[in-house]
Structure 1
Amino acid sequence: MDVRFSTGGGDGIAVTLAFSDRGLPETLKAAAEARGFTGKADETVDLVVADGAVARRALLIGGGPQADFTPVAATAAGRHLSAIAGLGGQALDVRGVPDAVVAAFAFGVLDGAYRDDRYKTAPPTPLAPAALTMIVDAPDACTADFAAMPALAEGIAAARDLANAPPNRMTPPLFADWCRALAIPGLDVEVLDAEALAALGMGALIGVGQGSAAPPCVVVLRWSARGGEAPLAFIGKGVTFDSGGLLPKPAEEMWDMKYDRAGAAAVVGAMIALARRNAAVDAVGIIGLAENMPSGAAQRPGDVVVSHSGQTIEVLHTDAEGRLLLCDLLSYARARFKPSALIDIATLTGGLTSVLTDQYAGLYANDDALAASLTETGEACGERLWRLPLGEAFDRMIDSPVADMQNICKVRWGGTVTAAQFLKRFVGDTPWAHLDIFGPAWNHGAKGRHGATGYGVRLLAAIAERQAAQ
């Protein structure tokens, strides 16, 4: 989509952003009020108004009270605009709105324009406009504020594509091939195959994928704009399909289990966004790719595996596989890259949604400053986090009688916190945060379009730049 900022002009229908406390444009006021439009957030009205002897179409979009129209709210409104049919070649009047908020609105339109029609033989006509002219007070300032947004939109679209792809089209080797083909200047892509993982001692990750005909692998993406020492490390769970292994999920829970790779997809999307906008940061993204399948070669409940760190793990439940994959990546990242901080991101535990629904991701951390920075960044970019506790009592719940630890607690409660506590055993004294994105990573159709949301791309890209600026 081509986005332009202008003081006037634009062809096609006129779209006006109206606020509930600012009053409606006089030319549209009577027609809008007759339809009950008041300017509330997410309210829209499609009008036909007289323009001399010519009738023209006009669309009003409500922004709510203007003071509440923050960049986060503006992005949400822009996504809403993309879902309205017939807006080709439009002009959008947002005069009187701050430049940064205008840019966020335009980003929302870009983000909302995403469609995944790759596997339809007759794709529907795109709803989003091919071009967007935004009528503003200061075009140059808006253009400057918007400059980084297309790269971010590209990263989010990539994350959605990776998570939305059918399981047979995005096995671990195919995911790795997708990353190899990126060819973005300055973004280094390295693939560690199953043989390399065995040589590195990644027994926990290998165990997750050993029941599949598609071998596991790890992809390392590096962006080094400041020398590459002590980078911020992002660790992503990429279970390309999660059947549950020998302890399988119910059928209706398997339908969307391609999205168990959403954490890895978010890491890749964030690295794309940072590289495309030539961000002045040092970051490494490490994703573990495996398919959790049942077979004669699959991992059994009761198996003991040796992790990359040398710690032994009793595998009590084969559907608690994400933490097994992540633990090897966390210790590998510490050993190889000596990162300034570790941030892992994963669709790890469905139980967290009973508390946070899809509105927040869970945050666990061993470092208060990192947790605070992530929380503030999430609020600013619209990818919100809620911090949850860790503690010695939770840690004891994963002690095993036959190994250093077990991959689940046997009691009925504590599944989410003990998953995080499990990961904490592999990070040492490195500042670390675990983001459980099971809820916000996927839209089940209650609002917007069914499928991957790309949650985490904005957050990871923003925290990288924030940490680099400190």
Structure 2
Amino acid sequence: MFRLTTIAALLLASTAASAEQFTVKTNSTVAANADTLVLLVSPENLNANPQLEAISKQENFTAGHGKTLTWLAPASPYSQYQRVVLLGTGDTAKLTPYQASLLGATTARTLKGSAASTIQVDATLLNLPFSQAEFLAQVSHGIDLASYTFSRYHTDKKAETVRTVHLLSAEQSATEQRLVQLNALSEGVKLARDLTNEPGNGIYPETFAKQALELRKLGAKVTVMDEKALEKAGLGAILAVGRGSARPPRMVIVHWEGNKQQPLAIVGKGVTFDTGGYNLKTQGDSILRMTSDMAGAAAVLGTMHALAKQKAPVNVVGFMPLAENMISDRAYLPGDVIRAGNGKTIEIISTDAEGRLLLADALWYAETNFKPRAIVDIATLTGSKVGAVGSYYAGLFSNDDNLLGQINQAADKVQEKVWRLPLTDEMLPELKSRIADLRNTGSTTGASTAALFLTQFVKDTPFAHLDIAGNALSSSNKGLHTEGATGFGVRLLTEWTLTAE
């Protein structure tokens, strides 16, 4: 198992998120003690090298993207290694940075369970369409993310083996610089995964807030609003959702001010456990997954960590409204009318439509107090989004074409895919209440009316909503994900904040 020994321990100290220890070597230097060589090859490389061509033909290896061939006890000039892993890139002209990260993920899974301890990654045979520094850093990023595990609660876990990965680079300084950025991003993704993988008795509003306070060590400003602060600010929607729990709600605000530009705002839904309230979730498999209903808030905190760790030259504020949606004699009820921070009254049609209530107050608070130039929220919000596009895409809602373009561009680059879904005022009658300003649910178009509900709490700021229901968890190891929490949104939001106009 891989591990990055230079990463500081998280607040959840016994969480075992595996990673890499990376060093960078120049082309003229070889890791003298490396026992394993990962040699990246294209189909053209095989044809140009008689030795590689011979072994490839013998094993029907074509060097297609992500295809591997493990060569044990290799002959000269590779005889110093115990094993050589030939890793195919496919047509190098078509390679992208994301595909390079997938090659890293393949490397991690290929070597999992092997005796490899010191690995040299060699891409010198390749004719790359972008810099070698970017390619190698992305490979390391993929190794890191695909090596992640969550074993905090395993009492019989064995001691982890630290594997060192040497990146053979002709662009040493540039590779090291890019590694700093991508290692920070990896940390952010893994932080989001750790938080989302935690059970309900491990993560609740108070412990989430404690984890957020760790970002002060990176130079971020962190504010935790407790019940009294929420009441003073008039954030009645957050208070209503959290009222039924013995663990009171919070709102965490993390500000990374890497420049003096007007800030961007990102807002994440943080329902640390969702019973559905008095509209109780009755399917066992559904309620079991509700430990992940704070994946939006986890993605925001992971993004803020990634930005602060790499000292990004951006001004971003992250908002994480946090609550447990529980049943008790204090819990809010179907039919109740609550008042949000902007003064609008909301009739509670379903206590299981609680996430939008948290977001409503946080969106209004973000716009009113920080005057951001754009706001993006991220939330595991609706089952109807899963019915529409499954876990293949996040649902994207916005009426601002410029912001839509920015998010689509960021999503395409990191391959956290989004699909635009309709958002139109003709659906507003579904949110009309007989006794209040709004209902908290519509009657038919669930994902779209949920997004439309949120727009009622953003007045003048360009706004987009990302529904990541279905994206927050993975049922298997695939791509950059491992089974369990994916950290979806950290890579997308980080890319967006770094490139937004």
1:457 deviates by: 1.1
1:88 is matched with which residue: 117, 123, 134? 117
SS of the residue corresponding to residue 431 of structure 2 reads coil
2:273 is matched with which residue: 241, 256, 263? 241
Q: Which residue of 1 aligns with 2:100?
A: 74
Normalization by structure 1: what TM-score?
Answer: 0.94
Q: Which residue of 2 aligns with 1:286?
A: 319
Q: Which residue of 1 aligns with 2:140?
A: 106
Provide Cα deviations, 1:177-223, integer angstroms capped at 9, x if missing partner.
12123332420111100121122111111111111111001001111
CA distance in 1, matches of 2:164, 2:483: 25
Provide Cα deviations, 1:26-54, integer angstroms capped at 9, x if missing partner.
43332333222212223222222442588
SS of the residue corresponding to residue 83 of structure 1 reads helix
Q: Which residue of 2 aligns with 1:432?
A: 463
SS of the residue corresponding to residue 386 of structure 1 reads strand
Q: Which residue of 2 aligns with 1:232?
A: 264
Q: Which moved more, 1:304-313 or 1:173-182?
A: 173-182
CA distance in 2, matches of 1:446, 1:83: 9
Are 2:482 and 1:464 aligned?
no
Taking the TM superposition and a 5 Å limit, the aligned residue runs for 1:331-342 are 331-342=364-375
SS of the residue corresponding to residue 416 of structure 2 reads coil
Are 2:447 and 1:423 aligned?
no
Q: Which moved more, 1:328-337 or 1:292-301?
A: 292-301
SS of the residue corresponding to residue 293 of structure 2 reads helix
SS of the residue corresponding to residue 272 of structure 2 reads strand
Q: Which residue of 1 aligns with 2:360?
A: 327
- Residue identity in the other structure for 1:43: K
Taking the TM superposition and a 5 Å limit, the aligned residue runs for 1:258-269 are 258-269=291-302
CA distance in 1, matches of 2:467, 2:435: 28
- Residue identity in the other structure for 1:91: Q
Provide Cα deviations, 1:99-122, integer angstroms capped at 9, x if missing partner.
222221121112222221111112
Question: 1:352–1:369: structure 2 CA closer, same or farther, 3 Å change rule?
Answer: same
Provide Cα deviations, 1:44-66, integer angstroms capped at 9, x if missing partner.
22222442588842212222221
Q: Which moved more, 1:359-368 or 1:338-347?
A: 359-368
Normalization by structure 2: what TM-score?
Answer: 0.88
- Residue identity in the other structure for 2:445: G
Are 2:53 and 1:19 aligned?
no
- Residue identity in the other structure for 2:328: S
CA distance in 2, matches of 1:318, 1:251: 18
- Residue identity in the other structure for 1:16: L
1:21 deviates by: 5.0
Counting matched residue pairs gives 464
Are 2:59 and 1:38 aligned?
no
1:444 deviates by: 2.0
Are 2:414 and 1:381 aligned?
yes
Gaps of 5+ in 1: none
Are 2:98 and 1:65 aligned?
no
- Seq. identity, %: 37
Are 2:289 and 1:256 aligned?
yes
CA distance in 2, matches of 1:398, 1:423: 11
Q: Which residue of 1 aligns with 2:193?
A: 160
Are 2:392 and 1:359 aligned?
yes
CA distance in 1, matches of 2:368, 2:467: 24
1:353 deviates by: 2.1
Gaps of 5+ in 2: 1-19
Q: Which residue of 2 aligns with 1:406?
A: 439
Taking the TM superposition and a 5 Å limit, the aligned residue runs for 1:107-122 are 107-122=141-156
- Residue identity in the other structure for 1:107: H
1:328 deviates by: 0.4
Question: 1:65–1:168: structure 2 CA closer, same or farther, 3 Å change rule?
Answer: same
Kept in 2, the 8 Å contact 1:184–1:275? The answer is no
Provide Cα deviations, 1:386-441, integer angstroms capped at 9, x if missing partner.
2222112222211111111111112xx31000000000111012111111111222
CA distance in 1, matches of 2:183, 2:68: 26
Kept in 1, the 8 Å contact 2:36–2:119? The answer is yes
Q: Which residue of 2 aligns with 1:28?
A: 52
1:255 deviates by: 1.4
1:272 is matched with which residue: 305, 320, 331? 305
Question: 1:126–1:27: structure 2 CA closer, same or farther, 3 Å change rule?
Answer: farther
Kept in 2, the 8 Å contact 1:32–1:47? The answer is no
Are 2:74 and 1:47 aligned?
no
Provide Cα deviations, 1:292-322, integer angstroms capped at 9, x if missing partner.
1122222211111100110011111111111
Provide Cα deviations, 1:74-96, integer angstroms capped at 9, x if missing partner.
11221222223223201111112
- Residue identity in the other structure for 2:107: L
Provide Cα deviations, 1:236-271, integer angstroms capped at 9, x if missing partner.
101001111111221111112111111101111111
Kept in 2, the 8 Å contact 1:21–1:64? The answer is no
CA distance in 1, matches of 2:413, 2:196: 25
Kept in 2, the 8 Å contact 1:224–1:283? The answer is yes
Provide Cα deviations, 1:296-353, integer angstroms capped at 9, x if missing partner.
2222111111001100111111111110110000001111111111111111112222
- Residue identity in the other structure for 2:91: P
CA distance in 1, matches of 2:186, 2:387: 30
Cα RMSD (Å) of the superposition? 1.9
Q: Which residue of 2 aligns with 1:191?
A: 224
Kept in 2, the 8 Å contact 1:31–1:49? The answer is no
CA distance in 2, matches of 1:125, 1:27: 39
- Residue identity in the other structure for 1:9: V
SS of the residue corresponding to residue 226 of structure 1 reads coil
CA distance in 1, matches of 2:403, 2:312: 20
Kept in 2, the 8 Å contact 1:356–1:439? The answer is no
SS of the residue corresponding to residue 298 of structure 1 reads coil
SS of the residue corresponding to residue 248 of structure 2 reads coil
Question: 1:210–1:394: structure 2 CA closer, same or farther, 3 Å change rule?
Answer: same
Q: Which moved more, 1:67-76 or 1:424-433?
A: 67-76
CA distance in 2, matches of 1:461, 1:449: 20
Q: Which residue of 1 aligns with 2:14?
A: none
1:446 deviates by: 6.4
